[in-house]
Chain A
Amino acid sequence: MEVHDLGPTVSNQINRILYQYDLYPHHFDDQGNLIKIETYSGTFALKRKALNDQQIRKLQTVYSLARQMTIDAVCPLSSKYGDLIIRTDELCYYLMPWFRETVDASDLLERYRHLFIKAGQLHRQTLEKETECMTLYQDMVRVINQRQMVWEQFLYQAEHHVYPSPFEQMVFKSAAIYLVNMQRARDFFSRDHDDEGKGKLMRRALCHGRLSPLHLLIQEERSALTNFENSEYGFFVVEIATLFEQSSVTLGTKKTDWKGFFRSYEAACPMSDEEHEFLLHFLLFPSAHAELLQRYMQTDQRSEQWFVSRWTKLCRVHQEMFTTIKLEIDEERKKKETIQAEVDKKMKNEDA
């Protein structure tokens, strides 16, 4: 047996795990949290990570959905004893089919393109009935208040400096607009009841919990989500809004097709008007900005240049993303209104 990078004890431990799948490897390749296993029955990926009972239960839920072909996900293979996860004293192991990825991990644009589609498909395929979302709205208000506190603390400190630093000056310039936006978001999320006094309703679906361009396997045109251990049912609009925010930070100044991302998601999982509004208002109080302010306040050895450059990029990309999504939503609303007007007109004519 050819064994690479593994000592005899580790190798035997891997053999013991693979024995539970009746697999006898002829080659191992340890790649950190993942071991590539080559056997005469095929190539597999043995994943190694710490999972708690709750995460294991979540994986089992997703596995059962994938088995029923409800969702398209790369899930662990079951052992000969029917186990999805092999638990050791410290870690858990699970075996997956090996994906020969055709998109490099560094090609984030392409990975995000696939990710928005897969996220939409996951949400659409597991849609549940609308449920009251009062708590969600209240949580949003709490988050806004926390972020506003960070902003206020930063501005208070900066205002008391005789000579504000270049970064502080830069933040001053954009503070007004962000504070107004936060107020708009707070106003929106404070209205957790509709005009008739009923609690607002939102749709729920299975949320991945850790959507990331690295939790996606792409082989040619086929792509599938993986790493479902944090998945759970919830208001999926939060997950997609967070994904937009995350991608704007990760992709930075790369030329990003925000319109394409939004359209791909909408094509897979069309959002309601309320969900559109939620998304737009969620994007009005970005976490990355508040985190950068906090980091600046907590860091002694500051590189002003780095903070200024980071702030500039964040603001630019965020604005670009927000504007594109808003335009798309407005356009869609207009289209809907035009169609509705035409329908109304037609009905009027018919009545007449």
Chain B
Amino acid sequence: MNNQQSLLMSAIQSNYRFKQINRVNEQPFLIETERGLKKIRIWDNEAMLKLHLKWREQLVTDRFFIDRMYVTRSGLPFVRVGHYAVTCHDAPYEVAPIAGHEGLWADLITHLMMRSRSTPVTEEHFSMASHVQNVFEQAKTFQVMDHEEWKLIHSCFSSVFTRAEKADHLRESNKHQMKTFLLPEDFSSHSCTQLFDTLFCELGQSQPMDGYRLLADLLLREALEHEEQSVHHLLQHLSRNDAIDQRSADLMLAQWFEPTEWVQFVYSTVQKDQGIRTDITVQKFKHVWDQKVRLIHEFSTLFLQTGASVGGT
């Protein structure tokens, strides 16, 4: 253990009410105490720490656990060690994948959608339609037209452009909202563990981002990498919870409408032409595309009000 680590351990020992502590892991920093495993987080950005403290306060509920900060002997939620702030959190280890825990995940998402709301940290407004148009034009200049992939890129462009326009339209009509749904940037299906028949959700320490984008990506990833059926169950639960209002539905759909898989496929084709190895294959592109189509269809059926329509894909 180097000097810095021993300084940290001694700060933890003297500031928190643990009788004995042992470091058991470095990344993430885990310590074993007589009161169970604890996670230590080191913050170099105090503004972010304060934001996270406030964020957790906002989310406190008896239905889920949030990785709140332990208070020190003097009642503070962090310890200052040099230029850093150190926080201590619970670290339950029983995994809680979405598959098999759809009800709990839906309840958690419902709660987060209601309570994890604030003004967005960064506001991005750019036209996806213009972006795909530019990408298409650029691709032409790279003379990738001889490739087999080009046929696919070209044949999809019209749908890609329509999808991009729909995404722009859905985002545009919902952009004048003061508060939006936020999730930590690294939110994933690994963000939750299980404890006393409920979920323990880790907000971690990354910055809050547009929750609709992150949630839509999480559902897509879950459907692609794991079981589509579990996403189906999750959506059913969300529907029963009345979790998704018109705005949420629009913004989640916008994320799936955005033809990012096509853009990545174009870049991948260009890079391949330049001899750079990429992992975006035709098959993968088609897989993502089809999955998005299915998600959009199911989501629209469940959540869009009668009369509202996002059109076919």
Contacts and interface: CB of A to CB of B under 8 A. Distances in A.
A184 interface: no
Nearest to B66: A81
A82 B197 contact: no
Contacts of B68: 81
B69 A15 contact: no
A16 B77 contact: no
A89 interface: yes
A80 B71 contact: yes
A230 to B, nearest CB: 24
A88 B71 CA distance: 21
Contacts of A89: 62-63
A17 B195 CA distance: 12
Interface in B21-43: 35-36
Interface string B38-76: 000000000000000000000010110100111100010
A78 to B, nearest CB: 7
B180 interface: no
Nearest to B77: A82
Kindly name the residue among A12, A13, A81 whose own CB sees the greatest number of chain B CB atoms within 10 A. A81
Interface in A1-41: 12-13, 15-17, 19, 22
A108 interface: no
B126 interface: no
Nearest to A90: B62
A58 interface: no
A87 interface: yes
Contact of B196 (A16, A82, A86, A88): A16
B6 to A, nearest CB: 25
A82 B71 contact: yes
A68 to B, nearest CB: 13
Contacts of A15: 196
A37 to B, nearest CB: 15
Interface string A55-90: 000000000000000000000001011100011110
B94 to A, nearest CB: 13
A16 B62 contact: yes
Nearest to B72: A82
A60 to B, nearest CB: 12
Interface string A269-292: 000000000000000000000000
B255 interface: no
Contact of B71 (A16, A17, A81, A87): A81
B269 interface: no
Interface string A78-105: 1011100011110000000000000000
Interface string A85-129: 011110000000000000000000000000000000000000000
- B: contact size bracket: 10 to 19
A19 B65 contact: yes
Kindly name the residue among B35, B62, B65 whose own CB sees the greatest number of chain A CB atoms within 10 A. B62
B52 to A, nearest CB: 13
B36 A22 contact: yes
Contacts of A12: 196-198
Nearest to B195: A19
Interface in B96-140: none
Contacts of A88: 62
B65 A81 contact: no
Contacts of B197: 12
B75 A78 contact: yes
Contacts of B63: 89
Kindly name the residue among A15, A19, A87 whose own CB sees the greatest number of chain B CB atoms within 10 A. A19
A16 B198 contact: yes
Interface string A311-335: 0000000000000000000000000
A16 B65 CA distance: 8
B62 A86 contact: yes
A92 to B, nearest CB: 10
Nearest to B200: A19
A309 B189 CA distance: 71
B65 A87 contact: no
A81 B69 contact: yes
B123 to A, nearest CB: 32
Contacts of B71: 78, 80-82
A28 to B, nearest CB: 14
B62 A17 contact: yes
A265 B307 CA distance: 74
Nearest to B70: A80
25 contacts: A12-B196, A12-B198, A13-B62, A15-B196, A16-B65, A16-B195, A16-B198, A17-B62, A19-B65, A19-B195, A19-B196, A22-B35, A22-B36, A78-B71, A78-B75, A80-B70, A81-B68, A81-B69, A81-B70, A81-B71, A81-B77, A82-B71, A86-B62, A87-B60, A89-B63
Nearest 8 Cβ contacts at the A-B interface: A82-B71, A88-B62, A22-B35, A81-B68, A15-B196, A16-B196, A12-B196, A12-B197
Interface of B: 35-36, 60, 62-63, 65, 68-71, 75, 77, 195-198
Interface of A: 12-13, 15-17, 19, 22, 78, 80-82, 86-89
Given A12-B197, A89-B63, 5 more contacts: A16-B196, A22-B35, A80-B71, A81-B69, A82-B77
